[in-house]
Amino acid sequence: MKLIKMLLAAGCMWAGAVLADPPKGYPFVSYDAGLKAAHASGKPIFLYFGRYGCAWCDHTNKKTFSDAALKKLYTQNYELVYVDAESGKRLTLPSGERITEAELGVRLQAFATPLFVYLTPQGDKIVQIPGFKTVQDFRDYDRYVRGGHYKQKTLLEFLGSKS
Amino acid sequence: MRAAALLLVVLAWPAQAAWEWSAPLTVNSVQGAAIYPHIESANRQGVAVSGDTVGVVWEDNRDGSPQCYLAMKPAAAAAFQPEIRLSRADCFEPVVLALGDGRFVAAWEEAGTVHARVLPGGPALQLTKAEAAQVTLAMRGDALYAAWAEQAGRFRRIVVARLALKADALGVKAAHPVEARAPSDEQGWPALAVAGDGSVSVAWEDRRSRHTVPMVSHSRDGERFAPPVRLTDIKSGSAPGGLGAGTGAMRPTLAAWGAKGVAAVWLDKRDFLSGYDVFAAFDAGARRFGKNVRVQDNFGDNMAQWHALVVGDGGGRLVALWDDARDGTPDVWLSDWDGEAFGDDVAVPAAHGPGAQSDPVATLDAAGFLHVVWLDRDETTGTRVRYARASPR
């Protein structure tokens, strides 16, 4: 009985530990590892700026990132990076500056989580989008980024003109 | 119409009435486009005044790797002396504390453990064998304490140590985790304060509730700590639909204040649509923090605040500082506690205006002067560590 209780408690702790982490089944890595991988692969970076315990992150994970086709699209075409908005873990910016993950939020002027940031393989910011988004939204952002439309248009202009 | 416009101008003008400021000085002697100074630390403890000497610590990469530095300036001197390098291996988040008579204790993370040293002149001491980071210091009388976040299995936990000081040599008298049991999730960024009655308060970030909650514990003797409680007066809990675990809050800071009090200030995202706000709570001496108070005024309300801290003194003066970009670019702001509420937000004049001025650290000295250090970022010429002193009007 004691063992069952312990297992249940451990299960609850584990369930808690994964709340508002990166969406299940996606190969998210740290900022430094993602930047290194992007340099090697030439793929753009999709940076998920989340917060531990964040309800809207949880909602986005469950509603949007659970879509199997979206998972395939982003896993195949992006280096996936997860950054914790309140973490003291360190990362190295493309400039060579070392800052904490929380400090990246300051640099991004993050108002709310989740915040989604698309970066070139060199780590330059393409666009950042805050808040809950749908599967279709992420498909549109993918076309904007991988289609290279960001070189000519703002995201709003692109979304206004999409067919 | 003209009167209304004038009123708007007056309301929008940053109040600068409470303090009279010295001309700012640059602290770091080496700058460059690819040199990045940082003054982040546990309890934001980057400046101290010992006797008539100001000491400032920071980390930068001028030598090709992150190293920690201390610069000092006698009050009468026109400039800071060239800085002393504190570390040999990768160094982060240094803090400094005044010992009196121009002497300081600095502490920092180096090569994955925490170290401390008396300056000028003392040898460096490794405070921990275990992996540790985010060290901070506090002192009253001859009782010198350090706290840090130490690896304990899968997570870090908070440890408080009483340090021995003999001439220029430091030692660890005793080090105890605040809680004996192993941490169930991450703990970090401790802040320490020793109140006027000698009791020790420690606050830190804690994730046991599955989101980040500033927690606090107290000890009468600096060894046995009371069970921790939340600094925040809002409860953890999921949003409708069982989503998430609670709002975010981070980087608590503490200051001993008045005869027996302790004040706390931290960043709090309970209003999650406007970024982090600055919140405060007070312990008048009962070793229990009360209702949370929002620090910044309405002009800073719809804006993310960053890098908040509180400084206080035995006379009851209390000041909160932070940076935000309400005027278009990051500036350093402060607010004085008037005994009942925090006053209007006041811009630090030399840390306000075009460009990015951020990351304040501060201290109040025995004479009532407020010493503020911040980063002044310039991508072309490099970031300057800046200093100014304010006297109360």
Whether A52 is covered by a domain: the verdict is yes
Contact A17 B210 (CB under 8 A): yes
The answer to whether the bond into A114 is cis (omega within 30° of 0) is: yes
Helical residues (DSSP H) of chain B, grouped into ranges: 2-12
Whether A9 is covered by a domain: the verdict is no
At A38 the pLDDT is 98
At B285 the pLDDT is 96
Whether A59 is covered by a domain: the verdict is yes
> pLDDT tens digits, residue range A80-133?
999 999 999 999 999 999 999 999 999 999 989 999 999 999 999 999 999 999
> pLDDT tens digits, residue range B209-246?
999 999 999 999 989 999 999 999 999 999 999 999 99
> pLDDT tens digits, residue range B147-204?
999 999 999 999 999 999 999 999 999 999 999 999 999 999 999 999 999 999 999 9
* Contact residues, B window 65-104, toward A, CB-based 8 Å cutoff: 66, 92
pLDDT bin (cut points 50, 70, 90) of residue A163 is low
Mean pLDDT over each residue of chain A, to the nearest integer:
89
A16 interaction partners in chain B (CB closer than 8 Å): 185, 210, 245
Q: How far apart are CA B127 and CA B108, in angstroms?
A: 10
> pLDDT tens digits, residue range B22-31?
999 999 999 9
Residue ranges of chain A whose CB lies within 8 Å of a chain B CB: 13, 16-17, 19-20, 51-59, 62, 85-86, 88, 90, 95-100, 102-103, 106, 109-113
Amino acid in the structure at residue B391: S
Is residue B351 predicted with pLDDT exceeding 90?
yes
B181 lies within 8 A of chain A by CB? no
Whether A6 is covered by a domain: the verdict is no
Whether A53 is covered by a domain: the verdict is yes
Contact B382, B51 (CB under 8 A): no
Q: What is the CATH number of the domain that holds A39?
A: 3.40.30.10
Contact A85, A144 (CB under 8 A): no
Q: Which residue of B has its CA nearest to A20?
A: B244
Whether A36 is covered by a domain: the verdict is yes
Contact B210 A58 (CB under 8 A): no
Amino acid in the structure at residue B28: N
Q: Which residues contact A156 (CB under 8 A, 6 or more apart)?
A: none
Q: How far apart are CA A52 and CA A84, in angstroms?
A: 7
Neighbours of B82 (CB within 10 A): 11
Q: Please give the tally of structural domains in chain A.
A: 1
- Show the domain range for A75: 20-161
B150 interaction partners in chain A (CB closer than 8 Å): none
Two tokens, residue B309: 């801290």
B151 lies within 8 A of chain A by CB? no
Contact B289, B281 (CB under 8 A): yes
What topology does CATH give the domain B28-234+246-392? Neuraminidase (2.120.10)
Q: Which residue of A has its CA nearest to B211?
A: A53
Residue at token pair 């988040």 = B93
**What percent of chain B shows pLDDT beyond 90?**
90
Contact B204, B158 (CB under 8 A): yes
A34 CA: distance to closest CA in chain B (Å): 22
Whether A49 is covered by a domain: the verdict is yes
Q: Are strands A45-50 and A79-84 parallel, antiparallel or unpaired?
A: parallel
Q: How far apart are CA B265 and CA B294, in angstroms?
A: 9
Mean pLDDT over each residue of chain B, to the nearest integer:
94
B205 interaction partners in chain A (CB closer than 8 Å): 86
B172 lies within 8 A of chain A by CB? no
Q: Among A19, A100, A109, whose Cβ lies nearest the Cβ of B210? A: A19
